[in-house]
Amino acid sequence: MTTEELSPDALVERVQELTARLQGVPDPRAREAGEALVSAVMDLYGEGLERIVRALDEAGPAAEEVRRALVDDGVVASLLLIHGLYPVDLETRVQEALDAVRPYMHSHGGDVELLSLEDGVARLRLEGSCQGCPASAATLEQAIRQALEEAAPDLAGMEVEGTEAPVRAPTA
């Protein structure tokens, strides 16, 4: 099977597998050469993506539909995030994810508030009647975490106030 036939998840697995194999190469010079090659290819792709984004920006409103389609594509969005080209900043995406999960939180008598976002870690507070109840951890795990993973896969983690024990965990 060629890489063109692999799903995005399978491609990620392939990259992880090859990265692990490269890290296991016993010859440090060969390992360094492999890592330098990967870095150079990433830089090349990043430069290409930057030029594509710049061309879309210069095209103005006429390119908005194409830009939206690219951002909505999970694979392209991931590449844009990796290269710092994603058009929506992390805090906005976190806030949008929390806004999307609020109706669910409200249906359980609670809410969630973003207290801060520092070093890629979102500090959140659970509020309302779900605060401190056993279901609050499940609510966090099933609703907030999923919303954050979808909207902000580059989020490094989150700290949550309002649960029985403080929660600090990566989102992915």
Helix (H) or strand (E) holding 142: none
C-alpha 172/C-alpha 163 separation (Å) is: 20
CA-to-CA distance for 108 and 100, rounded, in angstroms?
A: 15
In this predicted structure, what is the pLDDT of residue 106? 83
Looking at residue 135, what is its pLDDT?
58
| Cβ-contact 104, 135 below 8 angstroms | no
Residue with tokens 């896969």: 153
Could you read off the pLDDT tens digit of each residue along the chain, which spans 172 residues? Answer: 555 567 877 888 898 999 999 999 999 999 999 999 999 999 999 999 999 999 999 999 999 999 989 988 888 888 898 898 988 899 999 999 999 999 988 887 778 889 999 999 999 888 776 555 565 556 556 788 889 988 888 899 988 876 554 444 555 5
* pTM of the predicted model over 0.75: no
Of 134, 132, 133, 129, nearest in space to 105 by CA: 129
Cα–Cα distance, 59 to 115 (Å, whole number): 38
Distance between CA atoms of 96 and 146, rounded to whole angstroms?
A: 13
pLDDT at residue 42, as a whole number: 93
Domain 90-169 falls in which CATH fold? GMP Synthetase; Chain A, domain 3 (3.30.300)
* For the chain, domain boundaries: 3-82, 90-169
Phi–psi pair at 170, nearest 5 degrees: -65, 155
Count of Cβ atoms closer than 10 Å to residue 33 Cβ? 13
Task: Give me the DSSP letters along 115-138.
Answer: EEEETTEEEEEEEETTTTSHHHHH
Q: What does the pLDDT read at residue 141?
A: 60
